[in-house]
Chain A
Amino acid sequence: MTNSQPTTNANRHAPVIGVEQIALLEKLCNASGVSGDEREVRTIVLEQLRSAGGQAQAQPLADEIKVDPLGSVYAIRHARKGDNPLRVMVDAHMDEVGFLIVSDEDGGLYRFTRVGGIDERVLPGKMLLVGKDHIPGVIGAKAIHLTEPGEMDNKIPLDALRIDIGPGGGKVKAGDWATYATRFKAVGPSFIAKALDNRLGCASLIELLRAVNASAALDHLELLFAWSVQEEIGARGARVAAYALDPELAFALDATPANDLPAHDGSENMIYNTRLGFGPAIYIADSSTLGDPRLAQHLIRTGDELGIPYQIRQPGGGGTDAGSIHRVRAGIPSISISVPGRYLHTAASVVRQADWEHSLALVWNALARLDRSVFSGERG
């Protein structure tokens, strides 16, 4: 089945990745948007929704655009045909993991803490951007010449690290957020950037919406898009968004770790979670929810019948906005689809452009074929 031709012409209208799409992703990745401080990402999303990024005479991409009390962005595209259209939520979180300045220790040195899941072992030696003005700073480490014997056997405790913005100090204060200073790079088949988790999802939603307006393939759906806040610290924005948008089902678009590196002893790596280059990852189970099996089957069937590569994320830990959404109101059947990414939550992650393209194709076509018959299958 995997090589069969598309059964509908929807595939032809799926979003494609070109120079403009990569430029938007670059802008989104380079923006600072630590959980609780998603302002810069929200600005970019709203610009795209309202004026295609600032183009004169551009039509808004959605019928209704609003910002909710937590700072999440909603864009509603009403169905163009049929009575009582199926209400579908498509969600991506805007926030990224990062840092929060805790106190000023004078001389340009600041104590900081982590926001979201960051391994403290990846912090020494990184350049950061601090606060609204993107003040550059560094997390240094004691020179190797000054280390005591045995010291290098232990990790440098977070407590010993400082953000150093230079001896001039000033301009940074407790309460400022900070992110990695890494700038986006397209390299061969890959993107290397910070915050690909989940600016990829943010860009995907915008590209899907653009494609919706250029085709009739999704006109049968009441489309409820949400760029939500605070996923990395408990998937809070998505919960409120799901309540407000009141969908019948939801897709959460995210990024998930690809732990597909060689094992230290050369043995087969059986615990890779996902692998780069194998297509978008469909979630069956993580620690926050079991993906709705009917939606999982719908995605799998779509991939198989249209020859779109996908992979099943190895069941295990982790969680996405779907973990919040599925428990809202009387329950919302939900599933996550993620682009696999190496080294997420570090200064630089790596994804394959093809995996992003295939995730857009899979979601687009799954939506194009979606109707209430999806619920007639076994709930499991």
Chain B
Amino acid sequence: MREAIAEAWKPLVDELTVSRMGSLHGLKRGVASEPRPKILLAAHMDAIGLMVTGISEGGLLRFYRVGGVDPRILPGMPVTVYGKRELPGIIVQPPDSLLPAAAKGKPVKMEYLLVDTGLEPEEVRAQVRVGDLISFATPPTDLSGDALSGHSLDNRASVAAVTACLDELQRVRHAWDVYAVATVQEEESLMGGFTSPYEIRPQIAVAVDVTHAKGPGASDWRTVPLGKGFALDWGPNTHPVLFEAFKELAERLDLPFSMEVYPSGSGTDAMGMQIVAEGIPTMVISIPLRYMHTPVELVSYKDIARTGHLLAQFIAGLEPVFLDKLTYENE
């Protein structure tokens, strides 16, 4: 994944490096005199998936989850097993007759699900070891109304938005240095969200992630409309001055948006970035996405493009003096 993103970013940035923990850092320098302030745009590039825990009789694989996975979405899903070579496979649920009597008719627990690679047991044992990763393999598919469905759009949709921002910045003068960062292991421990800002020490950090779009089974206050613009997230990981600045900009650009409130943690890299070193003012921008953490996540291309445009225009409007505004009114 890092290589694919590096290829896309290479022509768009001045410097491309890989952090000690594996995050990708792309620097696009601003035009202000040094020392220039820095803004960090973080989009995590990892995705949820599975990991081999054992090879059972018949060469079928047992597995556990990496990140939050509802086992009820798994039976019948195409996957790729990263053994010595990449093996296609499918996740299967054994018939009830082979499961404990109490499990009959119930969703099959992850410990009983299996991956079938179609290969003979000897070949499976030669190719696969405990600890090998398994990714979802649903092919990305365009849907009607400018929508895209597939796996891992959490958070590749945001990587795409950051890429669109870098692309727009080729044609826009900006004073600040821009660090585009594709972070690692957000779904497990926010590892990249902690480590990259420590190394870069930005004055502003923006987490770009996905949020729950309204759809079947999802309509409460935690959801926003799909295809009607990004969400600006308001809550304890959001610096109020940044929120206001992004909100005013979205209104000025006539970009549709929702406001999303979160009472505690935003569930994004911002939770890590905010508390790095002496603390960093952070903002959270979210792309609405249906069916999060399933193999058929669904996003609107328009929302991705709007997010990229908002980020680029925000950066274009940043003067060095903006730093002076990043204060609290009663300071």
Residue numbers of A with Cβ under 8 A of B are 108-109, 121-122, 124-127, 135-147, 152-156, 160-162, 164-171, 180-182, 185, 187-192, 257, 259-265, 269, 271, 342-343, 346-348, 350
Chain B 47-68, CB-CB to A under 8 Å as 1, else 0, gives 0000000001110100000001
Residue numbers of B with Cβ under 8 A of A are 56-58, 60, 68-78, 87-88, 90, 92-95, 97-100, 105-108, 112, 114, 116-120, 123, 138-139, 141-147, 149, 212, 215-218, 220, 222-223, 226-227, 267, 290-296, 298, 300
- Say which residue of B72, B92, B141 sits within 8 Å of A342 (CB atoms): B92
A190 CA / B90 CA spacing, docked (Å): 12
Tell me whether A162 and B216 are in contact in the complex, defined as CB-CB below 8 angstroms, given that A124-B73, A143-B293 are known contacts. Answer: yes
Tell me whether A167 and B227 are in contact in the complex, defined as CB-CB below 8 angstroms, given that A125-B295, A127-B296 are known contacts. Answer: yes
- Say which residue of A121, A136, A155, A265 sits within 8 Å of B142 (CB atoms): A136
- Say which residue of B60, B76, B99, B291 sits within 8 Å of A141 (CB atoms): B291
Tell me whether A264 and B143 are in contact in the complex, defined as CB-CB below 8 angstroms, given that A122-B93, A143-B218 are known contacts. Answer: no
Q: Establish whether residues B68 and A167, one from each chain, have CB atoms under 8 Å apart when the complex forms.
A: no
A263 CA / B101 CA spacing, docked (Å): 12
Q: Establish whether residues B118 and A192, one from each chain, have CB atoms under 8 Å apart when the complex forms.
A: yes
Q: Establish whether residues A144 and B118, one from each chain, have CB atoms under 8 Å apart when the complex forms.
A: no
Distance of A56 from chain B, by nearest CB (Å) = 35
Q: Establish whether residues B58 and A262, one from each chain, have CB atoms under 8 Å apart when the complex forms.
A: yes
Q: Establish whether residues B147 and A161, one from each chain, have CB atoms under 8 Å apart when the complex forms.
A: no
Q: Establish whether residues B92 and A346, one from each chain, have CB atoms under 8 Å apart when the complex forms.
A: yes
With both beta carbons as reference points, the residue of chain A lying nearest to B58 in the complex is identified as A262
A166 CA / B299 CA spacing, docked (Å): 9
Q: Establish whether residues A166 and B143, one from each chain, have CB atoms under 8 Å apart when the complex forms.
A: yes
- Say which residue of B71, B78, B100, B298 sits within 8 Å of A140 (CB atoms): B298
Distance of A88 from chain B, by nearest CB (Å) = 34
Distance of A33 from chain B, by nearest CB (Å) = 19
Q: Establish whether residues A169 and B107, one from each chain, have CB atoms under 8 Å apart when the complex forms.
A: no
Q: Establish whether residues B58 and A261, one from each chain, have CB atoms under 8 Å apart when the complex forms.
A: yes
- Starting from the known contacts A136-B141, A138-B141, 12 additional A-B residue pairs (CB-CB under 8 Å) come to A108-B144, A121-B107, A143-B293, A160-B216, A164-B290, A165-B144, A166-B147, A168-B145, A263-B98, A264-B94, A347-B76, A350-B116
Distance of A85 from chain B, by nearest CB (Å) = 42
Distance of A4 from chain B, by nearest CB (Å) = 27
With both beta carbons as reference points, the residue of chain A lying nearest to B100 in the complex is identified as A264
A257 CA / B145 CA spacing, docked (Å): 39
Q: Which residues of chain A have C-beta atoms less than 8 A from B217's C-beta? A: 140-142, 146, 156, 160
With both beta carbons as reference points, the residue of chain B lying nearest to A185 in the complex is identified as B88
Q: Which residues of chain B have C-beta atoms less than 8 A from A180's C-beta? A: 76
A257 CA / B97 CA spacing, docked (Å): 13
Tell me whether A169 and B145 are in contact in the complex, defined as CB-CB below 8 angstroms, given that A152-B70, A187-B119 are known contacts. Answer: yes
Q: Establish whether residues B296 and A125, one from each chain, have CB atoms under 8 Å apart when the complex forms.
A: yes
- Say which residue of A146, A171, A188, A261 sits within 8 Å of B60 (CB atoms): A261
Distance of B69 from chain A, by nearest CB (Å) = 7
Q: Establish whether residues A127 and B144, one from each chain, have CB atoms under 8 Å apart when the complex forms.
A: no
Q: Which residues of chain B have C-beta atoms less than 8 A from A141's C-beta? A: 70, 72-73, 217, 291, 294
Distance of A97 from chain B, by nearest CB (Å) = 13
Q: Establish whether residues A167 and B107, one from each chain, have CB atoms under 8 Å apart when the complex forms.
A: no
Q: Establish whether residues A192 and B94, one from each chain, have CB atoms under 8 Å apart when the complex forms.
A: no
Q: Which residues of chain A have C-beta atoms less than 8 A from B107's C-beta? A: 121, 152-156
Q: Establish whether residues B149 and A136, one from each chain, have CB atoms under 8 Å apart when the complex forms.
A: yes
- Say which residue of A138, A152, A259 sits within 8 Å of B72 (CB atoms): A152
Q: Which residues of chain A have C-beta atoms less than 8 A from B226's C-beta? A: 167
Q: Which residues of chain A have C-beta atoms less than 8 A from B77's C-beta? A: 125-126, 347
Tell me whether A146 and B143 are in contact in the complex, defined as CB-CB below 8 angstroms, given that A262-B60, A342-B92 are known contacts. Answer: no
- Say which residue of A140, A188, A261 sits within 8 Å of B94 (CB atoms): A261
Q: Establish whether residues B106 and A155, one from each chain, have CB atoms under 8 Å apart when the complex forms.
A: yes
Q: Establish whether residues A188 and B144, one from each chain, have CB atoms under 8 Å apart when the complex forms.
A: no
Q: Establish whether residues A262 and B57, one from each chain, have CB atoms under 8 Å apart when the complex forms.
A: yes
7 interchain pairs, CB-CB under 8 A? A143-B292, A147-B70, A165-B143, A166-B146, A167-B145, A261-B114, A264-B98
A262 CA / B61 CA spacing, docked (Å): 11
A181 CA / B77 CA spacing, docked (Å): 11
- Say which residue of A109, A160, A170, A264 sits within 8 Å of B112 (CB atoms): A264
Tell me whether A161 and B216 are in contact in the complex, defined as CB-CB below 8 angstroms, given that A187-B119, A343-B76 are known contacts. Answer: yes
A87 CA / B93 CA spacing, docked (Å): 43
Q: Which residues of chain B have C-beta atoms less than 8 A from A342's C-beta? A: 92, 116
Q: Establish whether residues B69 and A144, one from each chain, have CB atoms under 8 Å apart when the complex forms.
A: yes
Q: Establish whether residues B76 and A168, one from each chain, have CB atoms under 8 Å apart when the complex forms.
A: no
A263 CA / B78 CA spacing, docked (Å): 22
With both beta carbons as reference points, the residue of chain B lying nearest to A109 in the complex is identified as B216
Q: Establish whether residues B144 and A166, one from each chain, have CB atoms under 8 Å apart when the complex forms.
A: yes
Q: Establish whether residues B147 and A124, one from each chain, have CB atoms under 8 Å apart when the complex forms.
A: no
Distance of A259 from chain B, by nearest CB (Å) = 5
Distance of A148 from chain B, by nearest CB (Å) = 11
Distance of B294 from chain A, by nearest CB (Å) = 5
A109 CA / B107 CA spacing, docked (Å): 24
A169 CA / B295 CA spacing, docked (Å): 21
With both beta carbons as reference points, the residue of chain B lying nearest to A143 in the complex is identified as B292
With both beta carbons as reference points, the residue of chain A lying nearest to B267 in the complex is identified as A145
Q: Establish whether residues A168 and B117, one from each chain, have CB atoms under 8 Å apart when the complex forms.
A: no
Tell me whether A127 and B141 are in contact in the complex, defined as CB-CB below 8 angstroms, given that A145-B293, A192-B90 are known contacts. Answer: yes
Distance of A323 from chain B, by nearest CB (Å) = 21
Tell me whether A190 and B144 are in contact in the complex, defined as CB-CB below 8 angstroms, given that A125-B296, A141-B294, A164-B215 are known contacts. Answer: no
With both beta carbons as reference points, the residue of chain A lying nearest to B96 in the complex is identified as A119
Q: Establish whether residues A135 and B292, one from each chain, have CB atoms under 8 Å apart when the complex forms.
A: no
Distance of B125 from chain A, by nearest CB (Å) = 13
A169 CA / B117 CA spacing, docked (Å): 36
